[in-house]
Amino acid sequence: MSNEPENKNWDGEDNIQQDFYEDIDEMQDNETEDDLTEEEYIKAQAYSDEIAGTAGAAATKSNWLKELYEWTQAIAVAVVLALLINQFLFAIVQVEGSSMVPTLHDKERLVVTKLLYKPKQHDIVIIKSDVLKKHIVKRVIALPGQEVNIDSKTGDVYVDGVLQEEPYIKEKINPARIGTKYAYPFVIPEDTVFVMGDNRNNSQDSRSIGVIPYSEIVGKASLRIMPFHKFGGLYHELKEDAGKQQE
């Protein structure tokens, strides 16, 4: 019997075994090529750290810019709210001059309420005067349709024929300070008020600059906040006087 088949089978097994060992050697060679030397490892680690550091710096910068944006946005909102409050709700003003002595004095600071304000008698108001080109503070003496009269001899003030009790004034009007703007008695026109300073003999008011249109009234002075030792309301004299009249 011929042995060729056996030789062919043996040769096939040998080839398979040879290919197996060649694959093993190739895998070992590849593994050797993938291995890093110590120097290469250090360089690779340094590069990795550099990339991580760059990414960290970028993240920090991004966070800083985000925080800056948020602060800017918050400040912008606060400014807008402050402007809206100042325009429509209330404001803080500083008294200039002595025309409202003894009630108010120079450099005192007041809170002025604006929202839906409608002038009333005896209110202290802030006025943006078109005539004087500045803000002034005065007291409302008479309203639209009321008749105001100033006695040229005594300096007494009458509204609709009623003598006004004015515990807040420094002194009565000097006859020389009655003014020539109007002939009294005088009826106040619609949408205007007649105002005077509590320091009657040292005040530019309706006696010289005329009645004040509603459009020029900024608001009512409702609270004194400076100086601190005088912190409080501005109308206690009127309340005390009303109490005495009731007694």
The sheet with strand 147-150 has its strands ordered as 162-163, 157-159, 147-150, 186-187
Catalytic position from the list 99, 203, 206, 220 = 99
Q: How far apart are CA 182 and CA 210, in angstroms?
A: 8
Whole-number Cα distances in Å, 218 to 82, 128, 210, 214, 221: 17, 7, 17, 9, 10
Mode of pairing for the β-strands spanning 186-187 and 212-213: unpaired
Would you say 163 and 182 are in contact if contact means Cβ atoms under 8 Å apart?
no
Amino acid identity of 174? Answer: N
Whether 138 is catalytic is yes
Would you say 120 and 140 are in contact if contact means Cβ atoms under 8 Å apart?
yes
Name, in order, each residue with C-beta under 8 angstroms of 58's C-beta and a sequence gap of 6 or more: none
Catalytic position from the list 107, 129, 138, 170 = 138
Which residues are known catalytic residues? 99, 138
